[in-house]
């Protein structure tokens, strides 16, 4: 199944001022597109052509670095666009998620601190995650194109901490970007959808 | 720099605006905790590499990113008096012997300090070509300047995520191209670095955005070959450190 670039689920300027149209244009139209195109080239003759994206990510991990990097980033970015929405973020979470965050992560404030910290401490390029692992919510981080799928988890929420995701708007201030993501961009309804599909 | 600013479309706000003020007004430097390492000033004006590397990128890169590596390196060493006595190249060559609690911090921030110190030193020039003994070594080991540039740029575009591409030099003066992830450096293999280019997105995003290949190509225009030749001579004399 060939990879395809999905359209952004909102206008390019919909996430301002927290994420600018300029950032989204480069990030979606250039970076994500490059992962799709490179991934399609590397998928040819890989032996994984007929598989789903999730299967390609899992099966190329540790075996075909080029394909894995691009397939992993394709997967990550497909969800990343949906993990954000205008007027998102904040403390009013769907009840089911709030209950899990309370029981597994010590409450919303602790979740916020730890999620931001995971992103800040992912040295270099990568992602920070809210992951469902063995029935529990955990906060994790991965380098480059990796994601929780290859570590036996289900990614419920992820934030891109490659510099391309925030450099135009925040320069070196990665913590400010992460705080804005949590406070003003997270689409908790999509997190809930993924959680309900996983349990 | 003007181009960069006018394409912001008035999106500047909070944090980013703060950074801009700091970078266009007085040079503000992160306060490093006391420690053995310090951030040297850029050896030229931030605009010295225009138009290939814009002044704002140079300022943020040096005053913020490099400053943070120095500050974090000193913070890690503050917990360890023995390691703090070592020269940086020895810390990096012996990471496996460093206390486990600070090993990752030393790798990331010590690597970051060494890499950027070398980086500023070999830029600020006018490009062109190496001369004399260095030119002969480039011809002999790397197939000439054109091939060096092509292979070096290819290695730089192939780094997935953040990292560096280097030319290493042995005590005998032999050259090789090596790429490393994040802030790793050939110093961690006990080798010496002749020159290197930073392919973290922060090194080029404001001007080149997703076009890393264009940045890699343009960067050769600001290489200071006299400085590279000094490093080459030092490597052969056994006095090249970071
Ligand atoms: Fe990204
Ligand atoms: Fe850098």
Give the domain CATH number at B211: 3.55.40.20
Same domain, A48 and A141: no
Same domain, A125 and A42: no
Distance CA A34, CA A127 (A): 18
Same domain, B164 and B230: yes
Q: What is the pLDDT of residue B30?
A: 46
Within a domain: A6: no
Q: What is the pLDDT of residue A185?
A: 98
**B30 burial type by CB count under 10 A (0-12 exposed, 13-18 middle, 19+ buried):** middle
Q: What is the pLDDT of residue B35?
A: 79
Nearest to B113 by CA among B52, B24, B198, B56: B198
Within a domain: A107: yes
- Number of domains into which chain B is organized: 2
Residue B26 pLDDT grade (very low, low, confident, very high; cuts 50, 70, 90) = very low
Of B64, B68, B182, the CB nearest to A124: B182
Q: What is the pLDDT of residue B81?
A: 85
Same domain, B16 and B115: yes
Same domain, B145 and B101: no
Within a domain: A13: no
Q: What is the pLDDT of residue B34?
A: 67
Same domain, A76 and A164: no
Angle, helix A65-82 to helix A188-198, in steps of 10 degrees: 120
Distance CA B16, CA A114 (A): 23
Same domain, B140 and B231: yes
pLDDT at A182 over 50: yes
Same domain, A108 and A146: yes
Residues 6+ apart with CB under 8 A from A35: A3, A70, A71, A73, A74, A77, A145
Of A145, A163, A169, the CB nearest to B201: A163
CA distances from residue A5 to A9, A193, B39, B142, B189 in whole angstroms, order as listed: 12, 21, 43, 39, 41
Q: Is residue A172 within 8 Å of residue A72, measured between CB atoms?
A: no
Structure tokens at A126: 């990568």
pLDDT digits (tens, 9 = 90+) for A57-89: 999 999 999 999 999 999 999 999 999 999 999
Alpha carbon of residue A112 to chain centroid: 16
* Mean pLDDT of the B118-128 span: 98
pLDDT at A166 over 80: yes
Burial A59-96 (b: 16+ CB within 10 A, else e): bbbeebeebbbbbbbbbbbbbbbbbbbeebbeeebeee
Interface probe for A, chosen from B14, B76, B215 (most Cβ of A below 10 Å), is B14
Same domain, A117 and A59: no
Choosing from B121, B154, B188, the residue where a domain stops is B121
Q: What is the pLDDT of residue B22?
A: 37
Q: What is the CATH number of the domain that holds A45?
A: 1.10.287.990
pLDDT at B67 over 90: yes
pLDDT at B33 over 70: no
pLDDT at B14 over 60: no
Structure tokens at B231: 């490093």
Q: What is the pLDDT of residue B138?
A: 98
Distance CA B1, CA B7 (A): 10
Strands (E), chain A: 126-133, 136-143, 154-160
Dihedral of CA atoms B187, B191, B194, B195 in degrees, nearest 10, equals -40
Q: How far is B42 from chain A (nearest CA, A)?
A: 18
According to DSSP, the residues that pair with B167 across neighbouring strands are: B177, B195
Within a domain: A101: yes
Model ipTM? 0.96
Nearest to B56 by CA among B9, B7, B11: B7
Within a domain: B152: yes
Q: What is the CATH number of the domain that holds B83?
A: 1.10.287.990
Q: What is the CATH number of the domain that holds A194?
A: 3.55.40.20
Choosing from B121, B140, B174, the residue where a domain stops is B121
Q: What is the pLDDT of residue A195?
A: 98
Within a domain: A1: no
According to DSSP, the residues that pair with B179 across neighbouring strands are: B165
* Mean pLDDT of the B171-176 span: 98
Q: What is the pLDDT of residue B170?
A: 98
Of A20, A22, A176, the CB nearest to B15: A176
Same domain, A99 and A189: yes
Same domain, A154 and A100: yes
According to DSSP, the residues that pair with A158 across neighbouring strands are: A129
Same domain, B84 and B164: no
Same domain, B159 and B115: no
Same domain, A151 and A103: yes
pLDDT at A179 over 80: yes
Per the document, the length of chain B is 242
- Other beta carbons within 10 angstroms of residue A51's beta carbon come to 17
- The mean pLDDT value of chain A amounts to 98
Within a domain: B242: no
* Mean pLDDT of the B197-204 span: 98
Q: State which residues form the domain around A146.
A: 95-198
Residues 6+ apart with CB under 8 A from A93: A101, A108, A188
Same domain, A99 and A192: yes
Contacts of B65 in chain A (CB under 8 A): 172
Same domain, A102 and A60: no
Alpha carbon of residue B57 to chain centroid: 13
Same domain, A117 and A61: no
Interface probe for A, chosen from B5, B9, B111, B160 (most Cβ of A below 10 Å), is B160
- Number of domains into which chain A is organized: 2
A14–chain B Cβ distance below 8 A for any pair: no
pLDDT at B160 over 90: yes
pLDDT at B98 over 50: yes
Within a domain: B126: no
Distance CA A85, CA A16 (A): 10
Q: State which residues form the domain around B52.
A: 2-121
């Amino acid at each position: 199944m060939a990879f395809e670039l999905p359209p952004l689920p909102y206008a390019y300027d919909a996430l301002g001022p927290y994420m600018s149209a300029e950032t989204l244009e480069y990030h979606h139209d250039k970076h994500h597109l490059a992962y799709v195109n490179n991934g399609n080239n590397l998928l040819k003759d890989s032996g994984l052509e007929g598989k789903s994206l999730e299967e390609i990510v899992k099966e190329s991990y540790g075996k075909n670095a080029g394909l894995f990097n691009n397939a992993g980033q394709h997967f990550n970015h497909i969800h990343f666009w949906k993990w954000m929405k205008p007027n998102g973020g904040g403390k009013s979470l769907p009840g089911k998620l709030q209950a899990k965050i309370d029981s597994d992560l010590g409450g919303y404030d602790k979740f916020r601190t730890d999620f931001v910290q995971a992103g800040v401490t992912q040295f270099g390029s990568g992602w920070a995650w809210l992951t469902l692992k063995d029935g529990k919510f955990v906060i994790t981080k991965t380098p480059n194109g990796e994601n929780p799928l290859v570590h036996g988890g289900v990614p419920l929420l992820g934030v891109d901490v490659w510099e391309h995701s925030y450099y135009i708007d925040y320069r070196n201030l990665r913590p400010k970007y992460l705080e804005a993501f949590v406070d003003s961009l997270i689409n908790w309804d999509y997190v809930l959808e993924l959680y309900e599909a996983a349990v | 720099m003007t181009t960069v600013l006018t394409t912001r479309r008035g999106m500047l706000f909070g944090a980013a605006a703060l950074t801009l003020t700091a970078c266009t007004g007085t040079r503000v430097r992160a306060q490093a905790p006391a420690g053995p390492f310090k951030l040297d000033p850029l050896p030229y004006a931030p605009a010295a590499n225009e138009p290939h590397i814009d002044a704002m990128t140079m300022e943020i890169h040096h005053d913020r990113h490099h400053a943070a590596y120095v500050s974090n390196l000193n913070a890690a060493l503050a917990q360890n008096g023995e390691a703090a006595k070592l020269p940086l190249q020895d810390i990096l060559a012996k990471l496996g012997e460093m206390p486990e609690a600070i090993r990752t911090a030393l790798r990331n921030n010590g690597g970051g300090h060494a890499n950027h110190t070398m980086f500023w030193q070999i830029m600020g020039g006018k490009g062109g070509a190496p001369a004399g003994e260095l030119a002969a070594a480039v011809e002999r080991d790397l197939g000439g300047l054109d091939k060096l540039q092509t292979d070096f740029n290819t290695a730089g575009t192939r780094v997935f995520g953040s990292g560096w591409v280097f030319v290493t030099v042995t005590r005998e003066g032999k050259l090789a191209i090596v790429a490393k992830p994040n802030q790793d450096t050939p110093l961690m293999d006990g080798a010496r670095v002749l020159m290197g280019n930073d392919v973290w997105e922060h090194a080029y995003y404001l001007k080149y955005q997703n076009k890393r290949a264009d940045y890699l190509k343009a960067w050769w225009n600001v290489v200071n070959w006299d400085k590279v030749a000094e490093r080459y001579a030092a490597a052969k004399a056994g006095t090249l450190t970071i």
